[in-house]
Amino acid sequence: MPRMKLCGGGVTPKVLKLLDFNLPEDIIESVPRSAKVHVGDSVFKFHSNRPLVYMTSRDRFDTMLASKAGEAGAEVRDGTMVQNLVTHPGFIDVKTHSGTFEAKAILGCDGTGGPTARVTKLYSAWNPDEVAYAVESEVRVGEKSVSDFMGSENYFDLYFGVSPAGYGWIFPKDDHLTVGVGCRLSNLRDGQQLFRNFVRHIPELQGRDIPIPRAHLIPLGGASDVPTVADRVLLAGDSAGFAEPLLGEGIYFAIWAGQIAAEVIHAACRTEKFDLESLNVYATRCQEAFGQDFRAAFRLARSSYMENYDMDRLATFFFSNRTFQNSMIAVMEGSMRYRDVQAKLAWLYLKYRLSRMGLPIRAW
């Protein structure tokens, strides 16, 4: 620590409701109150009088969390790579390049390609239609250019129609812009070319020095149910598929799942039962907490940009609709869930489907 992790770095207001401490001011780089959604030459503006997201960089954010863990009593072993896990009748060994650690249980938060799931045979790899390939670069433009980019309404920007099965983003930070684009892996042809094509269409980035982008796989929560529990092992975060598939938010669900895992492991320590049957309450509670919302968000993504290329018509019905805009703002704030959005927009979606079939909708 600190170390870089590919991530937009957007901490939504509902994340703060989970924390028992305030987000330190020195890691907050900008606080957008509005969003611009671009579809071709059209721009749809989502306004709020409250913060939509707190922009930070994952190197700062993760270092802060590690520090908080240390303050709470955790022993932080920085830069200690896990090489293997070996389960025994009464404990589990974590073998690293600097020694072996014995534990009652392991919470693996090591991403879609981490060793925890693979070694414990929870899963070996993700299918291409279950993950998104994200390509991202940090573009240094200076504080004034960031301020000009956000404007008086403090915007951040999303771009649809720039990827065959994904979207692009530009998130303002302190003196730089986080620029990225994602695509469902099964639809991807050339990630670097996808990024270059996206950047080429952003006027504010022309003539800028664009560092070579980095790539990462992000799970599409709701696309597939992966196992998250084994004897003495639990998974959380990207490793468990806990990223919502419409906008890709993962921080909120990683923290929520971590808190559920802490409660489950605490109960297991009292009973000394760490077998699959005893720990499976973790998987059940996560599904009850947000599994249904992942599935609802995945249906929304699949019926819109992920498998639909008529973005102009979709934008007319949804992005310009105030009910839809308010619903998405409420999701970011935490006052609505995707299951609520799905029910609230059922009528609007019916009109959209009728228009696609060429049927008149005025009488409806």
| 338-349 confidence digits (pLDDT tens) | 999 988 888 887
| 223-278 confidence digits (pLDDT tens) | 988 899 999 999 999 999 999 999 999 999 999 999 999 999 999 999 999 999 99
| 280-289 confidence digits (pLDDT tens) | 999 999 999 9
Alpha-carbon span 195 to 364, nearest angstrom: 42
Band (306; pLDDT cuts 50, 70, 90):
confident
CA distances from 143 to 30, 148, 251, 297 (A): 11, 9, 26, 35
| 36-85 confidence digits (pLDDT tens) | 999 988 999 999 989 999 999 999 999 999 999 999 999 999 889 999 99
Band (362; pLDDT cuts 50, 70, 90):
low
Give the mean pLDDT of the chain: 91
**Contact between residue 338 and residue 296 where contact means Cβ atoms under 8 Å apart:** yes
Domains in the chain with CATH codes:
1-290 (3.50.50.60), 296-356 (no CATH)
Answer with the residue of higher pLDDT: 350 or 175. Answer: 175
**Contact between residue 147 and residue 195 where contact means Cβ atoms under 8 Å apart:** no
